[in-house]
A and B are shown apart, each in its own frame.
Chain A
Amino acid sequence: MRKALALLLVAFPAAAEVPPDRAAELEHLVLQDCGSCHGLTRKGGLGSALTPDALAHADAEGLALIILDGVPGTAMPPWRPLITEEEAIWIADYLKKD
């Protein structure tokens, strides 16, 4: 158990560092591509709402895993082929605080 936790900590640094121009691209991705299903204002659509309120009780690591691996049996696809783990954490933090 402790080992698994340690692995998680290794996989997900506490604060995701993403270069500014990549951050701008990720912001664009969240707005446009996440927005296709979750709405431009992230109040939901085919996908669930992703507003800071809706995500208040979700932790960033858990959200990052959902972003990376998707939710099987739903329309949420895995984004791992397109973004890194660090970037997924950055998006999770961004969604929670934005």
Chain B
Amino acid sequence: MKRAALILAVLASPLWAGTDDLTATGDLGLVIERATGSLLVIDRSDRAAIGRVEGLGDLSHASLTYSPDERFAYVFGRDGGLSKVDMLTQTVVARTVQAGNSIGGAISDDGKLVAVSNYDPGGVKVFDAETLALVADIPAAGKTIGLVDVPGRRFAWTVWDTGEVFLGDFSGAEPLIAMIGNAGVNPFDAVLTDDAHTYLVGLFGEKGVTAFDLWDDAPKPEKFLTDYGREGEDMPVYKMPHLQGWAFTEGQYALPAVGRHQLLWVDRATQEQVATTEMHGQPVFVIAQPASPFVWVNFATPLNDVVQVVDSRSHEVVATLTPGKAILHMEFAPRGAEVWISSRDDNKILIYDTRTREKVAEIAADSPSGIFFTARAHRTGL
């Protein structure tokens, strides 16, 4: 009887009524599983993994960005692979191996173009977001880093070997590429402020950070923080700091010192250093907890089992957490209630409540590194 009822129910339900099977993507995300070349699909509300996408190649140092409708992810692999992943079907729907070695990418503000930053051969390639067909190929004299999207279908990037900074405009029939200045010796990464006003380039080969005012029609390099850590020897940098999460908070930039176990605070308006915070190790990611005065920091190996929280008003460390072994990344829920932390060597994602700073859940993952929630689709610069 029960079976008959079930069959009847199935037969009776019109095709469009299957709403229970539909998934919205607004609270989904992807975790890079770097060793296995796979992505774990996560559901933020359920605090759970809901699937896995495989066959993405070498995902060491991989990153990704999302389409404006939060359905597709564009995954930038170390081996030059660019993959388009459908969050709904959890499959790779397009893939191209577009270079020998790449480092990251960005999607244009209108969602039409995906740009990839390449090490070998150095340069930037731009693809149609729909088909992954090549739209433009812009060679560079070295490894390109710090590729960001700039409003108006533009991208900015920097060359590690030469320090040159480029702004590419892809809004017309032909791309317009302009060299806007030289950032300095060996820029290691760059980031765009949330208001798309300032492109900040961090330097490894010399002290300092170089800012470009992208609201200006003729941006010029302006160097600051050129004399931090004057006293004493620099320490070895066992992992390059990342700037994509650079915190902008309380009218300040919170920056990782290179070769120092310090966080540097710079007044956003004057570019003057206002404070230094002594930290547990070489900062890698410095990320602002949304809707709060706090920034969260992780560290380079071998001191990478700790996360510290710093108050941007007092510049003091207010919490030191030990979530697990080899903490590689942190991603906040868009409104800041939770932070998801990847522990590569414990093979776990740890979920912390940001008010209590207590762990509320954990998810198994295979050597997890970057965690990316779909809300990134609506953030400038990614």
Contact = CB atoms under 8 A, between A and B. Distances in A.
The binding surface of chain B is classed by DSSP as loop
A29 to B, nearest CB: 8
B347 interface: no
A45 B78 contact: yes
Given A45-B103, A75-B204, A35 B60 contact: yes
Interface in B166-221: 186, 188, 204-205
Interface stretch (B233-241, B315-323, B348-356): B233-241
The binding surface of chain A is classed by DSSP as loop
Interface in B117-174: 119-120, 143, 160
B344 interface: yes
B60 A40 contact: yes
A84 interface: no
Interface residues of B, number: 30
Contacts of A73: 205
B158 to A, nearest CB: 13
Contacts of A31: 35
Contacts of A75: 186, 188, 204, 237, 240
A28 B325 CA distance: 13
A81 B236 contact: yes
B160 A46 contact: yes
Contacts of B280: none
Given A33-B301, A75-B204, A44 B237 contact: no
B51 interface: no
A43 B119 CA distance: 11
B237 A77 contact: yes
Contact of B101 (A35, A43, A81): A43
Contacts of B186: 75
B188 A41 contact: no
Interface of A: 28, 31-33, 35-37, 39-41, 43-46, 70, 73, 75, 77-79, 81-82
